[in-house]
Structure 1
Amino acid sequence: MKTLFLSPPSFDGFDGGAGARYQAKREIRSFWYPTWLAQPAALVPNSKLMDCPPHDIDVKACLAEAKNYDHVIIHTSTPSLKNDSKVAEAIKSQRPGTTIGFVGAHAAVLPTETLKASQAIDWVGRKEFDFTCKEVAEGRPLSEVNGLSFWKEGKIVHNPERELIPDMDALPWVTDVYKRDLQIEKYSIGYLKDPYLSLYTGRGCPAQCTFCLWPQTIGGHKYRVRSPENVAAEMAHAKKLFPQVEEFFFDDDTFTANLPRAREIAQKLKTLGMTWSCNSRANVNYETIKLMKDCGLRLFLVGYESGNQQILDRIKKGINIEEAKKFTKACKELGVIIHGTFILGLPVETKETIEETIRYAMDLDVFSIQVSLAAPYPGTELYEMARQNGWFAKKDKTDIIHDDGIQQSTLAYPGLSKDEIFESVEKFYRRYYLRPKPILRIIKTMLEDKNVCVRRLREGYEFFTTMAQRRTDLAASKAASAA
């Protein structure tokens, strides 16, 4: 069947393709590549990938394109399911014969609930859905496709599970799909050079973090990887396809989980003369950091999460605070930039632990940070902990964004309300960035490059606009609670 892989229109600035922790509207307009859809699109000949949010494609334009396809596969998520269902219904109404499938972590964990969200949804793909999509697009009867749930005569049928892909080199490269269907200049992340390009060199993560979405729902806890030769070959190909790219990012949950392989890939990238960055845990040794830096590494994206060791242990982070400090010091000595991420509202947060985390972040003093709210997605251990302990602040446990697309606090603890957790995000940002060192770092980058200066000014405007919107959301939440 002629197939469209679709990230539907959503909230302005909504990053449905976010590959790490949550889907939401960010503090500054930022978009990750829709790699999870690009991968099956690469398996289906004559398909098309349409990523609406970053390309500013509205519902009308989306529907005009969708009517040309027999089969539409939509990547959905917990916060976007209602919106995505409405888009599916509109597609179905204009062309009733269209087959519509939903994929993504929410569909993988809650296939029955996803199918029941709308009669327009014909099937959902569970777990790793690349070859599930391929087989459905080929016209194989739904009853014969493993890893698929579907409607049959008014009843929901769950086919046997599909085995996780053992040989990741069997998957085609996504870069050709990017070239064919995406405008890469539409994708930007504040801490990466612009334009950037991201992809996966492997799936799954051996870490057991209770909050992390993808390993617990789709990828698994075994790090299944592409060979260094395969990765290097695609990167060489990507350099030819996208000569304008300033930085390549490896979006594996933990690229450094297999250090010998990471070192081998780094050495192969050195011959390509590439600038690249990756996700990393805060436990890489000095020698490996130095080697990777010498081979073109510019930045680590590191999840520090909390400054309280008990919280880190409770979420099974597997990192000691002193170990993280040692890693951070090594990166600074070697000139590797760090973008650190922190999460507020993890079990069992208090006002004191929030203060501890803010002071910890200021002590680390990495180049830039992102502060998120704990997102208890269905299928994660964090979700089950919250359900069993009564930490959910709302009856609807999947209500994790405000009406404007901004992430909201869904958990509350004794002595700490959801509004207090939500409010602490802005406090965290202000106390971190309104210090001489961060301000001087930002000014320095602006003075060094005119384009960066323009970009930082835009991002600054977006950031403070979002903070103002957050205050409006907070006031509305407090008013609702008082009522």
Structure 2
Amino acid sequence: MKKILLLNPYTSTSDHIQPPLGLAYLAASLRKNGFKVVLVDANKERAGVKQVLKIISQNNPDFIGVQFYSQNYDDIKQLLLQVKLNFPQIITIVGGPHPSALPGEILKEFGKLIDFAFCGEAELGLPKLLKNIASPKHFKSIAGLIFRKENKIIVNPPYFSPDLDQFDYPAWDLIKPQNYPPSQHGAFFKNFPITPIITTRGCPFGCNFCSAGVNSGTLLRTRSVNNVVTEIKDLYTRYRIREFHIVDDNFTLAKTYAEKMLSAIINLKLKASFAVPNGVRLDTLDDELLFLMKQAGFYLISVGIESGSDRILKKMNKHITVDKIKEKLLLIKKHKLDVAGFFILGYPGETEEEINKTIAFSLNLGLLRANFFLFQPLPGTQVAKKFPKNSLKIDYGKLSFTKPSFSNHISSTRLKNLQKQAFLRFYLRPKILISNLVRVRKPLQVLFLFKRVCHWLF
């Protein structure tokens, strides 16, 4: 039986440690197709290159599959270099947001360090590749595969299956979600253990700063309500999960589906809490949905606000206005749900006056929490594509929400200072500070909070 080691690499630039759901789905699909799978979350274990090489030596896999985010570019290159030096016989495969965004460049840039790559979803394609690894004539029929043929790089179009129920549940037994830290999406939570789940895939909105459509398609696809509910019950009983994070691109996009899902969760009568930490679109929310979310055990609604300027919102292609944002936030508060808002500072063409307007806007929305991200020109986004060729040279290894990685007309030093001001002005208000501190549930949260403050401010 052929063996594959799936690796979530160590990320020194992020303080979030959460189960690698995408790899868990791949693991389930590979096992279903007869492959032995070892899943290594080096980020959770804080395992650097030396430790990963030791794990590889101990497991002796035939293949290694690496989850590739753009921010990990330099680290992954160093890792794969060492893998090829120490284990030249192992076939290396990468997938994830970066190769999905730049499918034509990934094999050129990494040369012989990467044998194959995938763009889009790979639950169907990866098992097919491994089965036909000795038969290159079949490569052209594998959706999303990026491979070499006669010194040319071939990129097969990705396929986003409309039937999500065909995929087995993530290989939770390999992940052991109950062993993950509680602060997966930040310092605050209501119950523990926590795990992420996905109910839908795809996003049709096309915000200019977001690459979600590249990764999971622009057509919304849903799992059946029964399929999701069965997984929730299993996680609740087998792994004693007590908080579920729905990490869809937009859980509330299809109202009828969301209402059915929420009603089914209510009928489970679990002693569990729910949140949507990745955010939902404000313009999808209404009284009926929010009422059901409250009844189902949701306690926190995260929303992408992005800017307090209608001009910038239009440049972002957000399809929402400042007035509509205010209206929807009042609606959420009416249902006594806490709200966390996401903002982007330093968007191309944004003035310092508009940044200050956004900061002031954040203080008057009734938010419990806010996160102020520095703009990143992420590969695959419309805003990155719109730059004239050669005018934007992206150093992928330096992409960061906390350090300016884009040369705007506002200096990097000034932009970082504006981000610091935003956080301090928001959280040092007595009411907000106290409201958040009383939600600290474990002593370790204090340490995590301190580290998180240092991570974002310095």
Q: TM-score when scaled to structure 1?
A: 0.85
Structure 1 counterpart of 2:245, which letter? Answer: F
Note if contact 1:148-1:159 (Cα within 8 Å) is conserved in structure 2.
yes
Note if contact 1:50-1:182 (Cα within 8 Å) is conserved in structure 2.
no
Structure 2 counterpart of 1:221, which letter? Answer: T
1:96-245 pair list within 5 angstroms? 96-116=88-108, 117-140=110-133, 141-145=135-139, 146=142, 147-152=144-149, 155-174=151-170, 176-177=172-173, 179-180=175-176, 183-185=179-181, 188-190=184-186, 191-193=188-190, 194-215=192-213, 217-243=214-240, 245=241
**CA shift in 2, pair 1:104/1:443, >3 Å:** closer
Note if contact 1:211-1:381 (Cα within 8 Å) is conserved in structure 2.
yes
1:265-280 pair list within 5 angstroms? 265-272=261-268, 273=270, 274-278=272-276, 279-280=279-280
The C-alpha deviation readout for 1:387-434, integer Å capped at 9, x for no partner, is 4695x4xxx3134627xx7742233444x2233223211111001001
Note if contact 2:177-2:194 (Cα within 8 Å) is conserved in structure 1.
no
Structure 1 counterpart of 2:71, which letter? Answer: P
Note if contact 1:49-1:181 (Cα within 8 Å) is conserved in structure 2.
no
Give how far 1:354 is off.
Answer: 0.7
Name the SS for the 1:346 alignment partner. Answer: coil
**CA shift in 2, pair 1:5/1:156, >3 Å:** farther
- Paired residue for 1:458? 447
- Paired residue for 1:373? 374
Distance 2:222 2:428 in 1: 41
**CA shift in 2, pair 1:160/1:456, >3 Å:** closer
- Paired residue for 2:404? 409
Structure 2 counterpart of 1:88, which letter? Answer: L
- Paired residue for 2:77? 85
Runs (5+) with no aligned partner, structure 2: none
Give how far 1:177 is off.
Answer: 4.5
Give how far 1:152 is off.
Answer: 4.1
Give how far 1:314 is off.
Answer: 1.2
Say which of 417, 424, 427 aligns to 1:430.
Answer: 424
Distance 2:266 2:182 in 1: 27
The yes-or-no answer on 1:55 pairing with 2:45 is yes
**CA shift in 2, pair 1:365/1:328, >3 Å:** same
Note if contact 1:9-1:62 (Cα within 8 Å) is conserved in structure 2.
no
Q: TM-score when scaled to structure 2?
A: 0.89
Percent of pairs identical after alignment?
Answer: 24
Name the SS for the 1:208 alignment partner. Answer: coil
Name the SS for the 2:438 alignment partner. Answer: helix
Give how far 1:343 is off.
Answer: 0.7
Runs (5+) with no aligned partner, structure 1: 15-24, 471-483
The C-alpha deviation readout for 1:419-474, integer Å capped at 9, x for no partner, is 3223211111001001111112023224xx4x2xx244213321343256x3xxxx
Distance 1:355 1:282 in 2: 22
Name the SS for the 2:127 alignment partner. Answer: helix
Distance 2:238 2:318 in 1: 38
- Count of residues in correspondence between the two structures: 439
**CA shift in 2, pair 1:330/1:161, >3 Å:** same
Distance 1:181 1:443 in 2: 26
**CA shift in 2, pair 1:137/1:262, >3 Å:** same
Note if contact 2:202-2:220 (Cα within 8 Å) is conserved in structure 1.
yes
Note if contact 2:49-2:79 (Cα within 8 Å) is conserved in structure 1.
yes
Distance 2:182 2:259 in 1: 31
Distance 2:54 2:389 in 1: 45
Distance 2:242 2:375 in 1: 32
Note if contact 2:302-2:339 (Cα within 8 Å) is conserved in structure 1.
yes
